[in-house]
Amino acid sequence: MAKFLNKKTCYIGKNVTLGKDVVIYENNHIEGNVNIGDNTIILPGNTIVNSTIGTNCKIHNSVIEESTIENNVNIGPFARLRPNSIIKSNCKIGNFVEIKNSLLKEGTKISHLAYVGDCEIGKNCNIGCGVIFANYDGKTKHKTTVGDHVFIGSNCNIIAPVTIENDCYICAGTTITKDCKQADFVIGRAKQESKPNAAKKYW
């Protein structure tokens, strides 16, 4: 049986199914066909609509619409999962991450400040802070495919359509416009220049 910490502050729709030992904190709105698995914790401030959430998950102050979340997943705070997002087991979706029409496979982590649209991302990837998957060219949406065990550093732009194969390492600040082959080390940013004492004129 689910445990509510303050049921008066929650809206739970008639088609919501709650597993054993689910804990629901105050100020949650859960509606439509929602199934929440055993031992999952719904922390304060979520909106969950027409979605499936597996066992042993933790959801904090996020919006989840028409999406599927498997087991042992942490989401939030302040994440948004738009329709047709599929999050496999043992993933982490952190603060200010937006995901739309994308598949994240097991063990992948997107901890903060990223947009993931129209993507398939493999297992055990790390997507850094400020990464943008640029899926729209002004007319058409395009797909990005990322293999397993890929590291994408902070502030990268991934311009779809592209494929990044397994075991690639994408350095921070890189813009990807071409496919990356397996185990490529990719850097695409301007070289830093330091001019000694030149900053004095600004102070």
Sequence ranges of the domains in the chain: 1-100, 112-189
Q: Which residues pair with 100 in a beta bridge?
A: 117
- Residue in the block written with tokens 């509606």: 31
Output the pLDDT for position 103: 99
CA proximity to 28, closest of 51, 50, 7: 7
pTM value is 0.94
Instruction: Give the end-to-end CA distance of the chain in Å, rounded to a whole number.
Output: 65
Pairing of strands 169-170, 63-65: unpaired
Chain length of the chain? 203
Output the pLDDT for position 164: 99
Alpha-carbon 10 to chain mean position: 25
**Residue-by-residue pLDDT tens, the chain, 203 positions:** 899 999 999 999 999 999 999 999 999 999 999 999 999 999 999 999 999 999 999 999 999 999 999 999 999 999 999 999 999 999 999 999 999 999 999 999 999 999 999 999 999 999 999 999 999 999 999 999 999 999 999 999 999 999 999 999 999 999 999 999 999 999 999 888 999 999 998 98
The class of domain 1-100 in CATH terms is mainly beta
Output the pLDDT for position 190: 87
Catalytic residue among 29, 60, 112, 149: 112
- Residue in the block written with tokens 């993933």: 91
Catalytic residue at 112?
Answer: yes
Question: CA 28, 117, 31: angle at the middle one, nearest 5?
Answer: 20
Domain 1-100 and domain 112-189, same fold? Reply is: yes
- Residue in the block written with tokens 């509510």: 4
Is the distance from CB of 187 to CB of 174 less than 8 angstroms?
yes
Pairing of strands 80-81, 63-65: parallel
Is the distance from CB of 191 to CB of 173 less than 8 angstroms?
no
Output the pLDDT for position 146: 99
112-189 is classed CATH 3.30.390.30: no
